[in-house]
Amino acid sequence: MAPRLLFRKFEIFAVQRHQEQQAKEAVRQLPQEKLSGDEEKLISEIVSNFAMDLPILDESKIEQTDRQVQLDARRLPTRLVFNRSRRVPVDGTEITIHIPFEGDPAMFDVAPSQRDLNPPVGDIDEANKEILLTYETADASSPIKASYERTLEAIRRHLEWLRAAASQTDGLKQVVRAEIAKRKLTAQAHAKVVDSLGLPRRPPKVS
């Protein structure tokens, strides 16, 4: 995995429109008998199925892994290299911070409507549900802790900005309610046409 800008790939508004389309399709696929039950309960069920599952960080279980590595001195701000045409190997340390979370990993690619110019950078291990922050240094005094804490704070901030949008489900409820009403009207029109003939209905074939 390669580090990437987090909270930048998809706009929150596009995600919300996609949710609405998914919810509409779910209503269209409902068995007709489901539409005759408690409508508010049905709306709540559908909305809960398509609401954003925003990640929650488990900061009590943050851990680190480390290993000794060979680094290229040209990439180190504390090393002065005059000949930059070839790799200059130096002994160094690689540290990875593992931040566990619960929720949908895809949300780390969603840009909130409110944002700053310095989005956090990291990897997302979807299988293990962890954010990975990796640092390399050949200097024991390197400010890794300060960098990690700044990134963690930026992640918290972006999640809070997303939380404000994720908590607003009124628009999604309205979309679902309108689609249910549309299906009920269609069913009523169908029944009116069928009943107008006054003929007995043949039972549908059982496949």
Which stretches of the chain score pLDDT less than 50? none
Q: Are 137 and 36 in contact (CB under 8 A)?
A: no
Give pLDDT, residue 41: 93
Give pLDDT, residue 59: 97
Residues 6+ apart with CB under 8 A from 8: 109, 111, 119
Give pLDDT, residue 197: 87
Q: Are 2 and 123 in contact (CB under 8 A)?
A: yes
The residue ranges of every structural domain in the chain are 4-183
Per-residue model confidence as pLDDT tens digits over 122-146: 999 999 999 999 998 877 777 889 9
Report how far Cα 114 is from the mean position of its chain's Cα atoms. Answer: 16
Max CA pair span of the chain: 95
